[in-house]
Amino acid sequence: MSETLVRIDDLKVHFPIKSGLLFDRTLGYVYAVDGVSLEIRRGETYGLVGESGCGKSTLGRGLLRLVEPTSGEITFDGVDVRSLKGEQLRLFRRRMQMVFQDPMSSLDPRQSVDSLLVEGLKAHDRHRDKAGVRARLRSTLDSVGLPASALSKYPHEFSGGQRQRIGIARALVLGPELIVADEPVSALDVSIQAQVINLLGDLQESLGLTYLVIAHDLAVVRHISDTIGVMYLGSLVEEAQGDQLYERPLHPYTRALLSAVPIPDPRVEDRRERILLAGDLPSPANPPSGCRFRTRCPWSQPRCTAERPELRIFDDSGQRVACHFTAEILTGELRPHEVRAELVHPDEGRTPEVGSELIVTRTDLPTP
């Protein structure tokens, strides 16, 4: 067992929903991350899966303090990250980096690869030694499998996979210990995906990196993660070693998720039993009481409405699960029942709102 690099304790990130007459007022919150605790050990890969909108990215960003957590604790290598202020925090960022989902939008289209990479060095005042910088850029590019000639090019001149490599190189250039990779492959073509996944693995091996990999593709997560956390509507519902999770999913949601993933093998597919979940993920602005999953859970019981289950260690395998009836479901004592889909209206905050501006300025219109 290696040491813990990151500890997250009861992390909450709530986004205020604002509106107001002259000045904005908070009307409610989007409970994007609502009490997550986890640990990531040095050198391991922690995979985070869950449906869209369940708060994975927010958790990752909250961890890096790219969004300000509402409450909770983050400890990175013994440092209390949440207490870091301004310049302290900025300098601390060197140790934790991020790789983004969309390799195009996360690279400033106006900067050449060179300046993209140098930027981080500049920020940490490591760009004085010109020769050293060159060498560093070269070796970094090399480590992500790009030729040195890439330096003078611009992001849009690369293919998706190459762009993602640039994104990874940018994260690597400062020599971080932790990399949060937010859906690093989901925007990539299937044939490219493997390249990036392999690259991440290679880099971890050679540099001893620690990863928090966020993805919605369970297969990918399973492939690269040592530990997998399953998120649902802002909280962690289950956490286990990769194989363990696949072999013995405890939480009803995990079970459903696993059974839903299509497998490119007709023989397997033909034999599979599916647990079909009814309905959609509820809005994080208005989460159900008690167990967040109860509205879709085929095993839900009255208790689930009243009481929110804690994430607790289930047995000595270390597997953690947040369900009141884990044991009963596992033994088959509790039988699944029919669930009526509850209608979920899509995210309220996203509808375009009219009326905030006194006068709209469509500036593409000439005036007389």
Partner 1 sequence: MSGIEALADHKRRRIEELIARTADAGGVSLVRDAGRRLLRNPTAIVGGTIIVLFLIVAIFAPLVAPHDPVQRFPELIKDLTVDTIPGATAGHPLGSDPLGRDFASRMIFGARQTLFVGVLATLIGLLLGVLLGAVAGAVGGWIDVLIMRFTDVMLALPSLLLAITLVALASRSTQWTVIIAVAVVNVPIFARLLRGSMLAQRGSDHVLAARALGVKPRNIVLRHMLPNSLTAVIVQATLTFAVAILDAAALSFLGLGDPDINRAEWGLMLGVDGVRYFEVRPELAYFPALAIIVVALGFTLLGEAIREALDPKNRR
Partner 2 sequence: MPLLDVRDLSVVFQRKGAEPVRAADGVSFTVEPGQTVGLVGESGCGKSVTSLAIMGLLPRRGNRVTGEVLFDDTDLLTLRPSDLRDRRGRDIGMIFQDPLSSLNPVIPLGVQVAEVLERHRGRSRQAALREARGLLDAVGIPDPARRLKEFPHQLSGGMRQRALIAIALACKPRLLIADEPTTALDVTIQAQILTLLKELVDDSGTALVMITHDLGVVAGLCDTVNVMYAGKVVERAGRHQLFGEPRHPYTEGLLQSVPRLDVDRGGRLHQIRGSVTDNIPWSAGCAFAPRCDRVIDDCIGDTVPLEPTFRGGALRCTNPVPTEVPA
Partner 3 sequence: MVRVISRRLIQLVATVLALMTLVFFWLRSLPGGPVDALLGERATPQTRELLTRALGYDQPIWVQYGRFLKNVVTGNFGNSIRTGEPVTAVIGRAFPATVELAVAAIIIAIGLGIPLGYLAARHRGRLLDNATIIVTLIGISIPIFFLGYLLKDWLTQGIHVFPPSGRISTGLDNTDVTGLFVLDGLLTREFDASADALWHLVLPAFTLATIPLAIIIRITRASVLDVLDEDYIRTADAKGLRNATIRKRHVLRNALLPVVTTIGLQTGALLAGAVLTEKVYNWGGLGTLITDSISGGRDYPVLQALILLAAVVFIVVNLVVDLSYAIIDPRVRVQ
Residues that bind partner 1 (CB under 8 A): 23, 61, 64, 66, 90-94, 96-98, 100-102, 105-110, 112, 119-120, 122-124, 149, 152-154, 156-157, 167, 170-171, 174, 358-359, 361, 363-364, 366-368
* 118 HSE (CA, 13 A, CB side): 16
Stretch that binds ligand ATP, among 49-57, 90-98, 132-140, 205-213 (CB under 6 A): 49-57
- Judged by beta carbon distances under 5 to 8 A according to partner kind, the member of partner 3, ligand ATP, partner 1, none in contact with residue 9 is none
DSSP letter at 290? S
Looking at residues 232 to 291 of the shown chain, list those that interact with ligand ATP (rule: CB under 6 A): 284
- Judged by beta carbon distances under 5 to 8 A according to partner kind, the member of ligand ATP, partner 1, Mg ion, none in contact with residue 53 is ligand ATP
Place of tokens 């023989």: 267
d(CA 251, CA 93): 35
Whose Cβ is closer to partner 1: residue 154's or residue 246's? 154
CB of 295 to partner 3, least distance (A): 24
d(CA 210, CA 131): 29
Stretch that binds ligand ATP, among 50-58, 69-77, 103-111, 352-360 (CB under 6 A): 50-58
- Judged by beta carbon distances under 5 to 8 A according to partner kind, the member of ligand ATP, partner 1, partner 3, none in contact with residue 15 is ligand ATP
* Structure-block tokens of residue 10: 């009861």
Whose Cβ is closer to ligand ATP: residue 53's or residue 288's? 53
d(CA 187, CA 199): 16
CB of 299 to partner 2, least distance (A): 15
Query: 107, 101, 112, 42: which is closest to 77 by C-alpha?
Result: 42
Interacting residues of 96 by C-beta distance below 8 A, sequence separation 6+: 63, 64, 76, 176, 177, 178, 179, 180
d(CA 201, CA 142): 15
- Judged by beta carbon distances under 5 to 8 A according to partner kind, the member of partner 2, ligand ATP, partner 3, none in contact with residue 368 is partner 3
Phi-psi map region of 72: left, alpha, beta (phi>0 left; psi -120 to 50 alpha): left
The CB density around residue 2, as the number of other CB atoms within 10 Å, is 9
Bridging pattern class, strands 235-241 and 227-232: antiparallel
Among 5, 40, 47, 56, the residue binding ligand ATP under the rule CB under 6 A is 56
Among 94, 95, 216, 223, the residue binding ligand ATP under the rule CB under 6 A is 216
Whose Cβ is closer to partner 1: residue 105's or residue 139's? 105
Whose Cβ is closer to partner 1: residue 192's or residue 275's? 192
- Judged by beta carbon distances under 5 to 8 A according to partner kind, the member of partner 2, partner 1, Mg ion, none in contact with residue 207 is none
Whose Cβ is closer to partner 2: residue 61's or residue 222's? 222
Torsion from C-alpha of 278, 283, 286, 291, nearest 10 degrees: 40
d(CA 114, CA 94): 18
Whose Cβ is closer to ligand ATP: residue 177's or residue 182's? 182
CB of 146 to ligand ATP, least distance (A): 24
Q: Is 53 an interacting residue with respect to ligand ATP (CB under 6 A)?
A: yes
The CB density around residue 354, as the number of other CB atoms within 10 Å, is 7
